[in-house]
Chain A
Amino acid sequence: GESVGLHLPTLSVQEGDNSIINCAYSNSASDYFIWYKQESGKGPQFIIDIRSNMDKRQGQRVTVLLNKTVKHLSLQIAATQPGDSAVYFCAETGGTSYGKLTFGQGTILTVHP
């Protein structure tokens, strides 16, 4: 069935390190992928997205990589800061299910000063 999952439920890094959060998906029809950050007491906040016709997309301190061959998505955060501490979710949609956003289980990122 359709699923989006994460390899690591928690990630702990030192301030200034680079962080990599991984995500696997199984729906080959997925053509649009989004990363969200959710802080305690807040709703998911959009970070960056990527369409299936791309392999890489960069934002401010963040990069998303998409490997369609192995159905894998990753979020790289450069020079991680304490304010980056949150739960990170990948999400996917596409094909006839477009509009139905399926979330991964989430990774808790903790950044130590």
Chain B
Amino acid sequence: DTEVTQTPKHLVMGMTNKKSLKCEQHMGHRAMYWYKQKAKKPPELMFVYSYEKLSINESVPSRFSPECPNSSLLNLHLHALQPEDSALYLCASSQGGGVRQPQHFGDGTRLSIL
């Protein structure tokens, strides 16, 4: 079991739906991340939150909207997604503050867009 919990594990949605992915950690980490991973490819960074503020947006389309309500929670709001957005969405957390410590990943949400 990982210390980063992601829900739901699987999500199927239509292109006109609105849904949210959720991520939670209780390790006291102050940096949280969203990654997108396509089959047989490495994870690709989407967003970084540091101390609950968005610090990096890797030019992600606006149909993906991140939110960090508090230091333990990270959401990814989805709206009007395209079939090519089907992927594994991974959340990670790390100590933050520039400390050289590893990012810890959840097991992801497998997203399918119909």
A pairs with B: yes
Residues on A facing B (Cβ under 8 Å): 31-32, 34, 36, 41-46, 49, 51, 89, 98-106
Query: Do A101 and B45 touch across chains, with their CB atoms under 8 A apart?
Result: yes
Name the residue among B31, B56, B107 with the largest chain A CB count within 10 angstroms: B107
Name the residue among A31, A43, A45, A89 with the largest chain B CB count within 10 angstroms: A43
Query: Do A46 and B31 touch across chains, with their CB atoms under 8 A apart?
Result: no
Chain B stretch 10-44: residues in CB contact (< 8 A) with chain A? 31, 33, 40-44
Given contacts A32-B100, A100-B56, A105-B42, contact A42 B50 (CB under 8 A): no
Q: Identify B102's interface contact among A34, A41, A43, A98, CB under 8 A.
A: A34
Name the residue among A32, A46, A106 with the largest chain B CB count within 10 angstroms: A46
Query: Do A103 and B31 touch across chains, with their CB atoms under 8 A apart?
Result: no
Chain B interface residue bracket vs A: 20 to 34
Query: Do B43 and A41 touch across chains, with their CB atoms under 8 A apart?
Result: no
Closest to B110 in A: A41
Query: Do A99 and B43 touch across chains, with their CB atoms under 8 A apart?
Result: no
- 7 A-B pairs (CB sep. < 8 Å): A44-B90, A46-B102, A99-B55, A99-B98, A103-B44, A105-B42, A106-B41
